[in-house]
Amino acid sequence: MQAIELQAPGGIDNLRLVERPMTEPGRQEMIIKVKATALNYRDVEIARGSYHTAFALPLIPLSDGVGEVVAVGAEVTRFKIGDRVCGTFWQRWVGGSFAMAEPSYQRGGPIDGLLSAFARLDEQAAVLAPSHLSDVEAATLPCPAVTAWHALFTEGQLKPGETVLSLGTGGVSLFAVQFAAAAGARVIVTSSSDDKLTRAKALGAHDGINYRDNPDWSSAVLALTEGRGADHIIEVGGPQSFEQSLKAAARGAQINVIGYLGGSEGAINPLDIFRRQVTARGIPVGSRESFEAMNRALLVNGLRPVVDRVFPWLEAAEAYRHLEHGSPFGKVVLDHMQ
């Protein structure tokens, strides 16, 4: 079968199309014909060698994707041939606390991802794709959508009328906008682009703040909330934005630390956490249980992921470059049927 491997660290140019032996399903495993995959910024970092963990190479990249079950092994009971499924990021985290996740079973590194014609999945590490979504849309779900859902609902217990502050307009942030709006929350989104703020409002955001025009954007959040602040914050900027997230937080707020797009260096005064009695937590995607709950909500509310651009899967390198340098609004997806 065809697959794309990352053969050496240090850059996107080290992605190579290869032929691998066709895989066979083991006990409680299945083979899927991959229909579409989606990129995350994690994939870019792994390719260029800047990710915080180094993985053994060669490696088939990409954790996120959807495919059709074409073969099943012995004792498979959760799926049948013809089902359309998404793989989970944490292959062994079915439910419960993060203590149940095993780092050695993350798809797309350290175990092979889905950037191939076919892939082998454990039946416990997959969910049915929502029936109303296309393959391109369903491929976007495993990391960014589950991360937003896990932050706001599994951990955050979001309630109608609360205020959600979603930083930026990347994949996780836009899913958070859609989920929070559907749940009856007030949503504030930040961006450096007025056009992106307008598009975010079309997805359900109530207010937008251009952080380029308003560098002190935490004060703008307080002004919009009459001094109260945000109850839930989707923090993707890292240490450089965390200080302002604290200033924008309501008393007893929850700050969900997800990324570090603004850089990994910075200083945080823990007294600011104390003064506001803020809960700050890391959100490492989420469990299969969160994925399944989220899929039910997507179907009931008719929500659809935001897709920025679709590439043929053999043009993966160009898709990587677009994600790294193109400032996309929504997800970058690879169509394996092209």
The continuous run of DSSP H or E covering 320 comes out as helix 316-325
Angle at 147 between CA 269 and CA 179, to 5 degrees: 105
Query: d(Cα 309, Cα 281) in Å, to the nearest integer?
Result: 31
Q: Any residues with CB less than 8 A from the CB of 325 and at least 6 apart, and which? A: none
Binned at pLDDT 50, 70 and 90, residue 215 comes out as: very high
Binned at pLDDT 50, 70 and 90, residue 264 comes out as: low
| 218 has pLDDT over 90 | yes
Q: Identify the pLDDT of residue 35.
A: 98
Pick the CATH number of 156-282 from 3.90.1570.10, 3.90.1170.50, 3.40.50.300, 3.40.50.720: 3.40.50.720
Domain boundaries, the chain: 2-143+286-335, 156-282
Q: Are 4 and 60 in contact (CB under 8 A)?
A: yes
Q: Are 63 and 116 in contact (CB under 8 A)?
A: no
**C-alpha of 150 from chain center:** 11
CATH number of 2-143+286-335: 3.90.180.10
**To the nearest whole percent, how much of the chain has pLDDT over 70?**
98
Query: d(Cα 218, Cα 319) in Å, to the nearest integer?
Result: 33
| pLDDT digits 0-9 by tens, 113-132 | 999 999 999 999 999 999 99
Angle at 141 between CA 110 and CA 298, to 5 degrees: 155
| 262 has pLDDT over 50 | no
Q: Would you mind telling me the total number of residues written for the chain in this entry?
A: 338
Angle between helices 41-48 and 316-325 (to 10 degrees): 110
State the virtual CA torsion across 222, 226, 232, 233 in degrees, nearest 10.
-20
Task: Give strand pairing partners of 334.
Answer: 37, 311
Q: Which residue has the higher pLDDT, 4 or 100?
A: 4
302's tokens: 């008719």
Q: Identify the pLDDT of residue 237.
A: 85
| 251 has pLDDT over 50 | yes
| pLDDT digits 0-9 by tens, 285-301 | 999 999 999 999 999 99
Query: d(Cα 90, Cα 142) in Å, to the nearest integer?
Result: 9
**C-alpha of 103 from chain center:** 17
Sign for the CA dihedral angle at 131, 132, 138, 144 comes to: negative
Q: Identify the pLDDT of residue 265.
A: 60
25's tokens: 């399903």
Query: d(Cα 302, Cα 30) in Å, to the nearest integer?
Result: 29
What does DSSP say about strands 15-19 and 126-128: parallel, antiparallel, or unpaired? unpaired
The mean per-residue pLDDT over the stretch 39-50 comes to 95
Q: Return mean pLDDT, the chain.
A: 95
Q: Identify the pLDDT of residue 183.
A: 98
| pLDDT digits 0-9 by tens, 59-113 | 999 999 999 999 999 999 999 999 999 999 999 999 999 998 999 999 999 999 9
Closest Cα partner for 166 from 139, 140, 138, 147? 147
Q: Identify the pLDDT of residue 72.
A: 98
Binned at pLDDT 50, 70 and 90, residue 336 comes out as: very high
Half-sphere exposure of 97 (CA within 13 A, CB side): 2
